[in-house]
Amino acid sequence: MIDNGLLVQMLLGALLGLSVYLPLATGQLSLATPAFYAVGGTLAALLSTRWSALGATADGGFPLASLLLELVLGGLLAGGLALLVGRPVLRLRGIYLAIATIALVEIVRVAILNLPFTGGAIGIFSIPQPFTDASGYLVTALALLALAGWLCQRLEAMPLGRAMAAIRDDELAAGCMGIDTTRVKLIAFVLSAVVAGSSGALAAHFLNTWNARQGSFDVSVTLLAFVILGGSRTWLGPVLGGLVLTALPELLRPVGDVRLVLFGLVILLGPVLVPQGLITPALLERLGGWSWRGTLRTPSAPQSNPSEEPS
């Protein structure tokens, strides 16, 4: 039932979940991930089909090194865009920030639909394939997810990650403590864009075709569901949410059209039934013995109960 193709989709879902999680870890609800995903994917689709120096062969093959280059370039372009729009946008908070990022997603979607070189509604197709079957994509996506996960894990132990958590809990207090809140939020936003851009570049090759629909408002909603279900207090939450909720519609395919209704129900009921998501720091604590437990505490820290959530 779960084949390699579905596994790749699940891993991409987990990566995009991480991309939504990163700004949320600073308390900022950004729905911009699909815009960055679309930018990365479009770049990869354009480069691999138009730029012969990357080495696409006549029978649709593609060198692995070029794919890796595209992953980097997709991440850089998306990160650059985030840097550009992030500074003004991140002055906004709450609903305003959410609406501004929806606007960004729509502007990017309409631009990709209408630019003369992105193929209009049909998009770009016959994107060359670096692998002969899905298992190659599986390894690449797994590597990408491991890299992004390692980054999030490292963040928790670094001053940057602690600053992010401080801003999430109380932005004003964090500012008073001398944290440059704008800068930290901007870094989280750019990191989120880099993850989304690289994922888009990989997805473009995996899907073989790329069009404006890949980065629409619907996708924002879907990704939000990943984080809501999985939980936004640890990076493992969105990863789990992305894996499960990407697989769920496929596994429910026999049920037919009802699967989208069930999907909506998750978003509707999740915040009420599992307000913190499935994976919480308290749960990880209880599982015990995990390496990340230690990174949250310093020896000098007083005995605090991590399961106590600031409301």
Binding flags for another protein, 227-246, as an x/- string (CB under 8 A) = -x------------------
Cβ at position 191, least distance to another protein in Å:
22
- Chosen residue from 95, 300, 302, 310 binding another protein by CB under 8 A: 95
Cβ at position 99, least distance to another protein in Å:
6
Using the 8-state DSSP alphabet, how is residue 208 labeled?
Answer: S
* Under rule CB under 8 A, residue 253 binds another protein: no
Q: Dihedrals φ, ψ of 275, to 5°?
A: -55, -30
Cβ at position 145, least distance to another protein in Å:
24
Cβ at position 103, least distance to another protein in Å:
4
When the beta carbons of 180 and 309 are compared against another protein, the nearer one is 309
129 forms bridges with which residues in the sheet? 61
* Under rule CB under 8 A, residue 102 binds another protein: yes
Q: Is the dihedral of CA 82, 85, 90, 92 positive or negative?
A: negative
Alpha helices in 4-157 (DSSP H): 4-24, 33-50, 64-89, 94-114, 134-157
Among the residue ranges 35-43, 142-150, 216-224, 296-304, the one whose residues contact another protein (CB under 8 A): 216-224
131-170 residues in contact with another protein (CB under 8 A) are: none
* Amino acid letter, 135: S
Number of residues in contact with another protein under rule CB under 8 A? 40
When the beta carbons of 119 and 128 are compared against another protein, the nearer one is 119
Among the residue ranges 73-81, 194-202, 203-211, 254-262, the one whose residues contact another protein (CB under 8 A): 254-262
* Under rule CB under 8 A, residue 267 binds another protein: yes
The contacts of residue 250 (CB under 8 Å, 6+ apart) are 6, 9
Question: Under a CB-based contact definition with an 8 Å cutoff, are residues 192 and 22 in contact?
Answer: yes
CA distance readout (Å), 66 to 44, 107, 128, 244:
10, 29, 11, 31
The contacts of residue 94 (CB under 8 Å, 6+ apart) are 29
* Under rule CB under 8 A, residue 292 binds another protein: no
CA distance readout (Å), 181 to 9, 140, 150, 159, 170:
34, 34, 23, 13, 11
When the beta carbons of 3 and 257 are compared against another protein, the nearer one is 257
Residue with tokens 């932005």: 171
Q: Angle at Cα 267 formed by Cα 265 and Cα 273, nearest 5°?
A: 85
- Chosen residue from 271, 290, 294, 297 binding another protein by CB under 8 A: 271
CA–CA distance, 27 with 10 (Å, rounded to integer):
25
When the beta carbons of 291 and 311 are compared against another protein, the nearer one is 311
When the beta carbons of 146 and 268 are compared against another protein, the nearer one is 268
* Under rule CB under 8 A, residue 225 binds another protein: yes
CA–CA distance, 92 with 237 (Å, rounded to integer):
26
* Under rule CB under 8 A, residue 83 binds another protein: no
Cβ at position 245, least distance to another protein in Å:
12
Question: By the criterion CB under 8 A, which residues form the site for another protein?
Answer: 29, 88-89, 92, 94-96, 98-100, 102-104, 106-107, 110-111, 113-114, 172, 217, 221, 224-225, 228, 257-258, 260-261, 263-272, 275
